[in-house]
Structure 1
């Protein structure tokens, strides 16, 4: 059973950004990324750029001509997971694309190609083929060795990797958050990006929670973007994040990876540990705001209707006043004509009277 199709014109693109530049370049990575997105046709519903205190520069300098909103994720050091959650929660589309600001895309419909795979209700997330600037593979999916994620075929030429020419999307263990498309409802249902992983592992953890719900994670190798990996932030993986990831997934890792179809299909609430209190609070807040927004929209619609009625009434009154003024002007014209006529008659009477008086005086 296929689900209703939602294309790139109804997708929100979420871009966490620190506003940094690549080495020996002056133009921010974000600007290059946005310029590449401007080729999409049709354009996405919106682009949400999420910044923090560390943001360098002024995004408004080059964002004015695109459907872009800039939001602040809150105080504190760079936090990819929190930035993504902030962007998704304020987004207005049913699909969200998480995208790094150090990526560049070519073409007009690559996002549509990714969106096509979400017609399959069993697909929970869609990734893309990411290459380094030298065209070698950076990401074509993530698998696991000894409980740790590894990028498949990393550093190899695409010509050496048969799966690059695959006609169907590739099932993978996880996909990078540098370019990851999901349904917004699925993202929220599994608790969004975990605040336990502010910089690394958050995307892998998200994919594994989707898989634990029974979803597949796929990569479409026909969709290719250039990824200047970690150009926008230091390439550091903290040991404590690695340990948290291992603790979270070590107990049911093997069953999940060997045969996802037999893994327990957890309810969304089962996937939310205490670290997700923030995303749940923000989700509840988002729902409440959505209700308020709907109420405001209804109120605005009512005010518009009332304003239209008032404008119509005012227009009627103006027409009536105009007609009255016309009648008054016509009456004034008639009065003026009558006054002129009376004045003329008075002059004639005065003249006749003067003539009579002179004749009588002369006759004496």
Structure 2
């Protein structure tokens, strides 16, 4: 059967932070002691506390804030009667709050009871650790007391940079516009100006896809033309000789590029009845990610020019005894996307020599025959 004490509510004191890091150069540490009650009651008659600490670890303890109505603080050696069970703690700070009208603390919980300030000693080493304990000297009638120990560790005075805002992964389509990322908020260092942290590109896993450079804390990312795939960029940050890096990924989605005119067909000038000409269309149009189909989109003068395509070869034939001008438009198509190229043909008239249309037949006649007329 549980005791009445086991069922009693607790007055609770917790610290903010519950664990912290001090440095070896006499750094001041502020720790807030927060008060609450397990049953939420705000009308009690008070609370008395003892804060136990190691004087080989800390000097100059003080309370820089206390809730109104405090009794103390009193600084003393730890007595056998109020020992916290830790052989390393040898000093105590005693404080208390009492309200005979039983209306303490009289406000919504949790509240800050006090702010404890401790100064770490200069002869400590990195990794040294101490624990502060909080015990009660008095509680409200029928209430227990609950508090967790506070751990303080001596750390390196130069904490080094950390990643405060990791760079988000990037997803874009092929041939996207360049992007810029401000690097100042990405890294931070408690003992250095963030803008003074030196950033560099540690690695680029796919330089055939992505171009990256840093200028004045600005990361500039360019996407190489007609490229798709994945890549990773790692940014390195150095502060006071210590460094850290942040890696993010870039995904470039493939987009079907339309065909383009690589080498436009030159205009043609020829003479009447010139021989036919062949044009290689594989050098005229280009599509980086698809094969092309060529067709004759228009011929403005079919009585002058005959045009045909066989595979990738355009054949131009000049119709006999014809001269004038024509425009030919050739279309290249792939995956429903197309482009056209138009060129002009000028056929110059040529003065044709006379031809024998009908030969004069041989004549046989007798002496003194009458004269003959030939058209």
The TM tier, using the shorter chain, reads: under 0.3
> Relative CO higher for 1 or 2, CA cutoff 8 Å, sep ≥ 6?
1
TM-score by length of 1: 0.26
TM-score by length of 2: 0.25
Larger Cα-atom Rg: 2
Higher share in helix: 1
